[in-house]
Amino acid sequence: MTANETIHPTAPAPEIDASCRLPLLALLVGASVWLVVGTVLALIASIKFHAPEFLAACPLLTYGRVVAAANDALVYGFCLPASLAVIIWVFARLSQTVYTLPLVPVVAAHIWHLGVFIGLLSILLGHSTGFTWLEFPRGGSILLFVAFVLIAIPTAASFGFRLEKDLYPSHWFLLAALLWFPWSYASANIFLVAMPVRGVAQGVVNLWFANNLLYVWFSLVGLGIGFYFLPKLTGRPLQTYYYALYVFWTLALFGTWCGLPQGSPFPAWITTLSSVAAVLLIVPLIGVTVVFGRSLGGPGSDGPMGGPLSFVKFGLVSFLLSTLMYIALACPQISRLLEFTWFGVAQSQLQILGFLAMVLFGAIYYILPRALGFDFIAPQFIRAHCFLAGLGVVFWVAPLALAGYAQGANAYSLDASLNWLRISTLGLGFILLGNLLFALNILAMFLTWKLNLVKTLFAAITAPLKVSEVKS
Amino acid sequence: MSADIKSSLPKPPSDPRPEAVRTTLPIWIIVLTLMLLFLGGLYFDNHSGWFQTQVYGPYASVDQLELYQPKSGAAAELARGKVVYEQVCGLCHGADGLGKPGQAPPLAGSEWVMAKGYNRLAHIPLAGLSGNISVAGKDWNMGMAAMGAALPDADLAAVLTYIRTSWGNGASPVPMEDVTKVRAGLGARPQPMSHDMLMTMPE
């Protein structure tokens, strides 16, 4: 490392961080707003499920619309832009070079948030496409696609211009993620919205996309970021490079085929192939367990409890659990009991809020003070957020999984699962409180930065002319 | 401008690029992957219906679908006959109708089965058979119980039709009414048939 630094004229870390400042702010401020909006919508949906009279008079907040809007706000509003922000910074740091064309992602971030706004509004007004995870109508999804490509191009370019030629495992995961989303999102939108395929194929395309977004893309990004921050925050090297690479290839190879439940109305070869592929996910699962376990052990400084490392660790454990749940859902004996129940919802929520969101929180808490050059206004909120988010995810996901079991074991009876659903609302409440603390910190930081900018500008205008300038 | 802000603020601590240990991947994880791929292949072979688009779960192959397809007319008769044959007759005469040495004569290619009429044939399962009899050029000397006496007429007619038209036997089907007539003619407790008794009856 030090040897490399003497050979290449690499940029110093503060300069790299400063070059990512504008894209990071443009992406993260909007993302933190959507995070709160998404959690509030999810809370409304969760309450409505066991108390149907709650907000029943408002047609905008019908259960079906709120659920779709909440999921899309969390995934497209928070997870994707926040992931892109972290990827921008990680790529710039790994490349040891300043970020190329930082203004393109700034423009793209505004296009992205406009797309999410249009999409969410359309869903609440009843104009969703009707396909799970693809509810945004054409206008919204085109904006998202354009924005993603606009961010991916300069980010991939900063990978191409890297001064540090050695590849790190995160490069593989994150570069694949930059290519994976435009491919799967465009394919799914073309085959479902623009030129719809017929009959059975629609369901196949929809579930294929849901799997490629929520399982494959989320795992690529979460693991790529996790494998970057784990050694960085512990001060111990990642164990080992080739395990991480094996996880990458097996995840990319087997992950794409999963996600079509055995009981779904598709020809048997499709669902059989899907469950075989899901069971093969045992291989990346073992790989991540080895990397995670080995990289944690040994001497080093783990930092304070409740700091960024706690978020990343929680996220990686959630990944292991959610993959285990995903594999269980593909096994015939278990899927007969749990398929099409709340258990599947528990799995996807663990993947979104327990895994990717937690890894992103940890990364953002680490990155943002460095990119802006000053600390959070309320650093003590970070620990509170970590505690609330951890507690919230446990009380949100575990009752949902148990509700799924109760449903499956009682012939899909809803009554059996209602009490578990009431408990899960409590968990979502904790998550909302934590997310509010996160958004407050981000927004306060953004406002401080703006204020500093105005102050500096004002100081520059009112400053007396220098003697040298007067003379010439 | 921004440089001014930065200098007035605390410097972030230096954080180096994370490192990854580059030891070789152990072989066991690759062996495990290949074993899982092999087992997955076996499972796919048994459950996928081999890319046939008309096979949906929980069925696993086209053959299985055929078995559960509702049938009508002659096909239904044959399917019913096949099921009854495999439960009642197939144990001794074989699922392929070739018989078993020392146990039961063949039905495939048997002149008794393929006779123009089925009067003599219908008597055998209803009354049983004992003594010497020549089947397809070989002499058999053993007994058969009245295996068909307990079967409903429709089932017996179906099974007779099945043995007369399967395995290359090209004889005519047996209608249920004729089985009813033969049963009525035999009375309540018939004696087992013999070669000579059968030869006295019309074909």
Determine the Cα–Cα distance for residues A367 and A361; give it in Å rounded to an integer: 10
- Crossing angle for the helix pair A380-409 and A357-372, nearest 10 degrees? 160
In a domain, B13, yes or no: no
CA atoms within 13 A of residue A90's CA, in its CB half-sphere: 32
Rounded to whole angstroms, the Cα distance separating A152 from A47 reads: 38
Both structure tokens of B162? 């099945």
Helix (H) / strand (E) containing B20: strand B20-21
According to DSSP, the residues that pair with A113 across neighbouring strands are none
B21 is a domain residue: no
The answer to whether A374 contacts B10, with C-beta atoms less than 8 Å apart, is yes
Give the percent of chain B with pLDDT over 90.
10
Task: Please indicate, yes or no, whether residues B58 and B139 belong to a single structural domain of this protein.
Answer: no
Q: What angle do CA A67, A85, A104 make, to 5 degrees?
A: 110
Mean pLDDT of A353-362: 96
Round to whole Å and give the CA distance between B111 and A269: 47
Q: Is residue B173 part of a domain?
A: yes
Q: Is B53's CB within 8 Å of A267's CB?
A: yes
Are B78 and B113 in a shared domain? yes
CATH number of the domain to which B78 belongs: 1.10.760.10
Q: Tell me the per-residue pLDDT of A265-320, one tens digit each, with 9 for 90 and over.
A: 899 999 999 999 999 999 999 999 999 988 887 665 566 678 899 999 999 999 99
Residues B51 and B88 in one domain: no
Where b means 16+ CB within 10 Å and e means fewer, A248-269 reads bebbbebbbbbbbbbebebbbb
User: For testing the chain B interface, which of A274, A276, A301, A453 should be mutated: the one with the most B CBs within 10 Å?
Assistant: A276
- Three-state DSSP class for A134? coil
Domain boundary among B15, B45, B65: B65
Token pair for B27: 């072989």
B6:A14 CB<8 A: yes
Highest mean pLDDT, choosing among A131-140, B68-77, B103-112: A131-140
Structure tokens at A20: 């990512």
B40 touches chain A (CB under 8 A): yes
> For the residues B127-154, what does the mean pLDDT come to?
85
Q: Looking at the structure, tell me whether residues B56 and B76 fall in a common domain.
A: no
Nearest CA in chain B to A168: B20
Give φ, ψ of A192 to 5 degrees. Answer: -110, -35
Best of A5, A174, A241 to substitute, by most chain B Cβ atoms within 10 angstroms, is: A241
Is B174 a member of any domain?
yes
pLDDT digits (tens, 9 = 90+) for B140-152: 888 888 888 888 8
Q: Is the dihedral of CA A294, A297, A299, A301 positive or negative?
A: positive
Of how many residues is chain B composed? 203
**Are B31 and B104 within one domain?**
no
* Mean predicted confidence (pLDDT) in B54-63: 84
ipTM value, please give it.
0.84
Q: Which residue of A has its CA nearest to B4?
A: A456
**CB-nearest partner of B14 from A13, A164, A228:** A13
Same domain, B76 and B123: yes
Give the pLDDT confidence score for residue B1 in this predicted structure: 40
Does a structural domain hold residue B9?
no
Q: What is the CA radius of gyration of chain B?
A: 34
Q: Residue A93 has what DSSP assignment?
A: H
Tell me if B22 is assigned to some domain: no
The chain B residue lying nearest A286, using CA atoms, is B29
Same domain, B141 and B106: yes
State whether residue A199 is helix, strand or coil: coil
Is B34 near chain A, with CB under 8 Å? no
Q: How far does B62 lie from chain A, in Å, by closest CA? A: 11
Range of the domain at B146: 71-200
Q: B36 to chain A: nearest residue by CA?
A: A280
Indicate whether A382 pLDDT > 50: yes
In a domain, B38, yes or no: yes
Residue B161 lies inside a defined structural domain of this protein: yes
Q: What's residue B59's pLDDT?
A: 85
How many domains, in total, are found in chain B? 2
Cis peptide before B58 (omega within 30 of 0): yes
